[in-house]
Amino acid sequence: MLELFHGPTAAFKDLAMQLVAALSDEALSATGETLTLLTATSGDTGAAAVRAFAGAERIKLIVLHPLDRVSPVQRKQMTTVEADNVLNLAVRGDFDDCQRLVKGLLAEESLREQGRLSSVNSINWGRLAGQIPYYVSATAQLGQAATFVVPTGNFGDAFAGIAAKKMGLPAAGFVAAVNQNDALARAINDGVYARHPAVESGSVSMDVQAPSNFERLVYEASGRDADATRAVFETFAREGSVTLSPDLLAALRAEVSAVSVDEATTKAEIAHAHAAWGRIVCPHTAVALAAARRLDRNGAPIVALSTAHPSKFGAFVSDVLGFEPEPAPVIGALGDRPEQLTVIENTPEAALAAVKGSRRRADAHPLATLAQRSPVERLMAALIPSA
């Protein structure tokens, strides 16, 4: 089990987000530009982004989350950060409303005039690049090629493994383990990529039915044929379903296999991991473990990626085990620190007014001293708190 959740918000997204933050800030200093990042979140991505970008000199981060619809832990991870470059907006609406408001803001001319605007979603290549070292480091520690089983939503983490292999990493194979939202698994196993509505599961961060990085996989598997790739995704967008050609399907299967794990099996796996190995695992990790135990052993070691600390999903875990997991140290440390958030109505006007009304405080923030260090020192400080 490759534990990737020892960052500041106890989820694997932290590591790559920290890298993207430090590198972006540095690149902006070189050009003298500033950047406003807007992101809608259902919890995890926003928390990792807030922790990573807090105190960045040239970047302002605005996170929209649905009021009262993220877990208290996720909300505190976003709202207890004392950084004057972070604005938390709690929208009276749901996640889709937040996403719609962000899209509107990104297209807003009067904001574009004030500087660069962008987003930190999972299509961002920097986030994928920052995940490649997981696979290199694990293989180096094992001293031999492994089969990696990756709990998968938007297919960013799994694609990073495939990228590592293309860079020369010896790897025995990759398995994308998805939950009951199985559009990707059906595409690879049955050859038909079809749109289905996403349903809520215990492994919420994987409730994705149109994984954005699947397009990258198709592009690579087609021999980087942009026309063929475009044809597949235009058909999918137009018809809601596309049949993959036998050649493309064979090439996809050479890169990755896919397994879908339902809710009952996910729960059974949490129970099994505890009974068999004394390990308490989060539902995302359980999906990967269940898929891993179904594999034929071909001699190569199997590495299941563990993407979140179980206490982030305490209710689901305690439902199975009958007790709450011990909080991760970074979660316990959140305590009752004061929270900062602005509640807004679910309208484009309210969102625009909140974004324009927020001004960076003039007084220097303690984190500003971070900017006086070299990018490598800042990265080390972000990744290893004692450095």
| Catalytic positions | 13
Q: Does 151 bind ligand PLP (CB under 6 A)?
A: yes
CA distance linking residue 44 with residue 141, whole number of Å: 28
Q: Is 155 among the residues that bind ligand PLP (CB under 6 A)?
A: yes
CA distance 47 to 313: 14
Q: Which is nearer to ligand PLP, 156 or 325 (CB)?
A: 156
Q: In whole angstroms, how close is the CB of 73 to ligand PLP at the nearest point?
A: 13
Q: Does the footprint of ligand PLP cover residue 13 (CB under 6 A)?
A: yes
Tell me: does residue 309 bind ligand PLP (CB under 6 A): no
Q: Work out whether 325 is an interface residue with ligand PLP (CB under 6 A).
A: no
To ligand PLP, the closest distance from the beta carbon of 161 in angstroms equals 10
Q: Quick one: 287 or 370, whose CB is closer to ligand PLP?
A: 287
Q: Which two tokens stand for residue 249?
A: 């399907």
Going by C-alpha positions, the residue among 62, 256, 33 that lies closest to residue 147 is 256
Taking CB under 6 A as the criterion, the residue among 79, 80, 121, 154 binding ligand PLP is: 154
Q: Residue 193 in 3-state DSSP?
A: strand
Residue 156 interacts with ligand PLP (CB under 6 A): yes or no: yes
Q: 79 or 122: whose CB is closer to ligand PLP?
A: 122
Choices 150-158, 164-172, 249-257, 326-334 (CB under 6 A): range interacting with ligand PLP = 150-158
CA distance 95 to 208: 13
Tell me whether residue 25 or residue 157 sits nearer to ligand PLP (CB atom): 157
Cβ(194)–Cβ(274) below 8 Å: no
Give the Å distances, CA to CA, from 192 to 102, 244, 248.
32, 6, 11
Give φ, ψ of 93 to 5 degrees.
180, -165
Using alpha carbons, select from 355, 347, 357, 358 the residue that is nearest to residue 98: 347
Q: Is residue 65 part of the contact set for ligand PLP (CB under 6 A)?
A: no
Distance CA 15, CA 105 (A): 27
**Shorter beta-carbon distance to ligand PLP: residue 9 or 229:** 9
Q: Is residue 18 a contact residue for ligand PLP (CB under 6 A)? A: no
Ramachandran area for residue 84 (φ above 0: left; ψ -120 to 50: alpha; else beta): alpha
Among the listed residues 147, 181, 201, 307, the single contact to ligand PLP using CB under 6 A? 307
Segment near ligand PLP (CB under 6 A); pick from 145-153, 166-174, 259-267, 319-327 = 145-153
> What is the phi-psi region of residue 140: left when phi exceeds 0, alpha when psi lies from -120 to 50, beta otherwise?
alpha
Selected from 88, 152, 179, 311, the binder of ligand PLP by CB under 6 A is 152
Residue of 44, 84, 108, 220 that binds ligand PLP (CB under 6 A) = 44
Please tell me whether residue 46 binds ligand PLP under the rule CB under 6 A: no
Measure the CA dihedral 210/216/220/221, to 10°: 0
Site for ligand PLP contains 306 (CB under 6 A): no
Q: Which two tokens stand for residue 333?
A: 């440390």
Pairing of strands 35-40, 116-118: parallel
- B/e letters for 88-126, b = 16+ CB within 10 Å, e = fewer, are bbbbebebebbbbbbeebeebeebeeeeebebbbbebee
Q: How far is the CB of 257 from ligand PLP (least distance, A)?
A: 15
Choices 69-77, 155-163, 166-174, 194-202 (CB under 6 A): range interacting with ligand PLP: 155-163
Per CB under 6 A, 205 contacts ligand PLP: yes
Applying CB under 6 A, among 81, 149, 206, 261 the residue interacting with ligand PLP is 206
Interface positions with ligand PLP (CB under 6 A): 11, 13, 44, 122, 151-157, 205-206, 284, 307-308
